[in-house]
Structure 1
Amino acid sequence: MSLLPGSSFSFAHPALFTDLYQLTMMQGYFREGLHTQDATFDLYYRRNPYQGGYAVWAGLEVALDYLEALRFSAADLDYLRSLGLFKEDFLAALESWRFTAQVTAFPEGSVVFPNEPLLTVRGPLWEAQLVETALLNILNFQTLVATKAARCLSAVQTSRYGGSVVEFGTRRAQGPDGALGAARAAVVGGATGTSNVQAAALYGLTPVGTHAHAWVESFPTELEAFRAYARLYPDSTTLLLDTFDTLESGLPNALTVARELRAQGHELRGVRLDSGDLAYLSARVRAALDEAGFPDVQIVASNDLSEFVIESVIREGGRIDVYGVGTQLATGGGEGGGALGGVYKLVALHGEDRMKLTGDPRKTSVPGLKRVWRATDTQGRLVIDVIASLDEPQPQAGARVSDPANPLRNTRLGAGLTWTDPRHVVMEGGQRSGEPEALTTIQARAVADLQRLPEGTRRLLNPHIYRVSLSQDLQGRRDALVAELRERHGL
């Protein structure tokens, strides 16, 4: 499979990238004659990551790569045979098995919210069942990291001096696959580059970096180390200032090299801070650079940054131009992070609604074939998303809608709203419906959607909660099915 900007490396054995029970259920459907029934699964999440107000939908192009490549090789079948769990007729059927289903989804880079179907798979039951694990793996992680990147960029944008975010997290990521996926997702969320050279090559990104403390420690003096690096890279040198002492050693030596480069017709690109009080140090370094006649030398900061650290540095007067966010970005870490709780639920089978019924109303799924209506006001701001039955027309002013997690919480829709259905079919018959999108296109969509969020939704703490509701018709269908299931199972 060729690699395209926005896509990912191919899986070595995509069909085996799944949980065992997906395969045992597939065989069960096959042996029971249920495998070809028309099934619909919705993928969604229940709570925003990081206790925030939104998520940035990421990983769709990677997921479509996976679905198009999905097949069982002879080696895969030999391995499954060796487990002693699978019958020969089932294994024979897998030889020609392909993913042929339809996939409907939000465009990658869209801002999305809890409880709405982000992606819907409709096709033969055993096809739709198998892909659950991989889809959740790809989309949960990339959405989590893209959201983290967007939050970091939101913090940067509180500075009147501007700034950017780059991804520095490869060494702390969850393995090589995690590092590549994190670099890609960070760009979806607004990062402008990555330190990972393979990710830059795969996705058409800008690789960025400076040098390590080991470089400075390998020379007799810090000044000699700086001069050697500048000789090698006279037009792209960024010097790390804090190997010994940022203000007493690193900064004076960097200024010396900056003057020497200028005398030779070159300019120092930047300096990096990797420890200490970043607000205080960056302000002092900025003042010294400006006073010495180097206002265009950028200050790069690293050192376990997060959106909250960035916001604090800016609030305390820091003067940083580029924030190299590592561990927390590449791992999706931080309070309320670590994993996006996306789920994949059967909502229709053989023309009939299906749902998970549980004692926790927040976990009760929404049955049936659906669409999402998104409302904007006259300024183009997002107002509300309404989940409706697939055949329902757009919502009307005055219609009552309810909270999916609490049906008693309901409201009437206002007037003067423009309604669109942002989801579209991205795969038909197991093949993409259009050309893969470049990461630049996906990132631009994320930037635009984030700007359309209601006031307060992007706050890092106690954000405005964007409303996602069920139409009255869909809520009625859900209530009727709940009553039917309770009676059928004697609950």
Structure 2
Amino acid sequence: MTPFRYSALLTDFYELTMLAGYFEKGMHEDEAVFDLFFRKNPFKGSYAVFAGLETALRYLEELRFTDEDIAYLDALGKFSADFLDYLRDFRFRCKVIAPPEGTLIFNHEPLLTVEGKLAEAQLVETALLNIVNYQTLIATKAARIQGAAGDGVVLEFGLRRAHGPDGGLSAARGAFIGGVRSTSNVWAGQVLGIEVKGTHAHSWVMAFADELSSFRAYADVFPDSAVLLVDTYDTLRSGVPNAITVAQELRDKGHELLGIRLDSGDLAYLSKQARHMLDEAGFPEVKIVASNELDEYVIDSIRKEGGRIDIYGVGTNLVTAAGEGGGHLGGVYKLVRHAGRPKLKVTSDVAKATLPDRKRLIRVVEPDGTFHQDVMCCENESLKPGDMVFDPTNPAHRKKIPEGVQCEDLRQVWMDDGKIKKELPALDACADHCAAQLKRMPNGCLRLYNPHIYKVSISQGLNALRSRLMEKYLED
């Protein structure tokens, strides 16, 4: 769900100038189809996790221009009175086709397709890219981080570093779909139903006369859920020993210390030492939480060095999608059909040429359930084992779909005539779907370093259609 209605003015100005142009030229009701896709997998990985669909559908269903919106646009002095009257009655009445949230998706594939009147499908470009790009990027980062943590639990701690309040909410949602199922963001807990978790800050410790007093006070207030931050002064000489003292005092009163948190230093070394001290003192069930600029690579390194961390609190690098090949998804929204004709963006670089017309997105699945490859084909084209498929960036590279596999449609209609037509899955179901999809990826595709690149192809019919259109446009 969305916590509030997104403004119809959540758009780039050029969307409105194009809309006005279509209206004035009588083109605004032309049939049109747009595809939203990206050209490069984020983080130099082999996949992305589709997220943001429900947020996008809620935005589309509620899209309205208010009287205040119209007054603002009128004051700009750019638009005719007739066009502003058109906007007063504007509604989104298109069809939206997409995979379920949590589906693994890949470069060049149409994640979301909008079919309907040109003006309606054009206006929503910016907002859809804003919503889907960011949530998909964060869901992908979260899946990578959770994968690096193995059996460890990951918490999303990034609100204070997120890109604004709504960015914090969207990050919590995307991270949940990617597998990080708890957050420090209380608003996300309220709006999205995500479990909220947290400990205390160094300021809590510093507000008391000494560390031990601060630990005792916190444990007194939260006797069954206390996690003590042990690195304010000296982790191994005071922090952990004082936490053990409080753990024993809690036990004597019929309670148990939940955990300790490490927020600085050599986390692999400190966690091993802390684990030994806690176990020796008779507290093997006390959890060790770690934070401090963690990402998938740091977590992977900690685990390889024998670190004993149970829970990872990941903030900045998750909600900002930091890291090589990260920072943005690079999704684009391109016209692929207009007024009954397939459309193609022509470029000298075939890798940047768009794929025309309505399409199906097919996943080829091995008999054991492992994903083999994805294929895009024309809307009415059949696809079966033995058919030839082509690399979309280099059609000279081709191969046959192997025998014995299943070809499954990945996408479905979620909205028609501007109304949501299917029950939207709960966030838990989206996250479960993502986790199940990750288990079906081919060997090597989930590696952090130099992953095996999952194969995405186009069908013979789609390849031929693109070739014909490119020849036509170049001749013209």
TM-score by length of 2: 0.99
Give the match's secondary structure for 2:250. Answer: helix
Overall identity of the aligned pairs, in %: 54
Match of 1:82 among 75, 87, 98: 75
Give me the CA root mean square deviation: 0.7
Match of 1:8 among 2, 26, 48: 2
Amino acid at match of 1:33: G
**Are 1:70 and 2:63 an aligned pair?**
yes
Distance 1:16 1:435 in 2: 28
**Structure 2 residue aligned with 1:41:** 34
Amino acid at match of 1:391: N
Match of 1:432 among 416, 420, 444: 420
Amino acid at match of 1:287: H
Distance 2:6 2:403 in 1: 52
How big is the shift at 1:358? 1.0
Q: Provide, for residues 101-135 of structure 1, a one-character-per-residue CA deviation record: whole Å limited to 9, x for no partner.
A: 00000111000000011100000000000000000
Which blocks of at least 5 consecutive residues in structure 1 are unaligned? Answer: 1-6
How big is the shift at 1:72? 0.5
> Which contiguous aligned blocks of 4+ residues in structure 1 show a shift greater than 4 angstroms?
none
**Are 1:399 and 2:393 an aligned pair?**
no
Contact 1:38 1:124 in 2 (8 A): yes
**Structure 1 residue aligned with 2:166:** 177
Contact 1:10 1:65 in 2 (8 A): no
Amino acid at match of 2:223: P
**Structure 2 residue aligned with 1:191:** 180
**Structure 2 residue aligned with 1:4:** none
Contact 2:384 2:407 in 1 (8 A): no
**Structure 2 residue aligned with 1:454:** 442
Contact 1:10 1:66 in 2 (8 A): no
How big is the shift at 1:396? 2.1
**Are 1:106 and 2:99 an aligned pair?**
yes
Distance 1:429 1:457 in 2: 38
Distance 2:462 2:37 in 1: 17
Match of 1:292 among 253, 274, 281: 281
**Structure 2 residue aligned with 1:378:** 367
Match of 1:445 among 433, 436, 451: 433
Distance 2:144 2:443 in 1: 15
Amino acid at match of 1:65: R
Distance 1:244 1:443 in 2: 39
Give the match's secondary structure for 1:16. Answer: coil
Distance 2:38 2:174 in 1: 18
Amino acid at match of 2:200: H
Amino acid at match of 2:104: V
Distance 1:129 1:192 in 2: 35
**Structure 2 residue aligned with 1:485:** 473
Distance 1:258 1:363 in 2: 60
Give the match's secondary structure for 1:98. Answer: coil
How big is the shift at 1:411? 1.0
Amino acid at match of 2:406: T
Give the match's secondary structure for 1:345. Answer: strand
Distance 2:153 2:41 in 1: 24
Which blocks of at least 5 consecutive residues in structure 2 are unaligned? Answer: none
**Structure 1 residue aligned with 2:264:** 275
Distance 1:359 1:177 in 2: 39
Give the match's secondary structure for 2:196. Answer: coil
Query: What are the equivalent positions in structure 2 for 1:140-289 lying under 5 Å apart?
Result: 140-157=133-150, 162-289=151-278
How big is the shift at 1:12? 4.7
TM-score by length of 1: 0.96
Q: Provide, for residues 230-288 of structure 1, a one-character-per-residue CA deviation record: whole Å limited to 9, x for no partner.
A: 00000110000000000000000000000000000000001000000000000111111
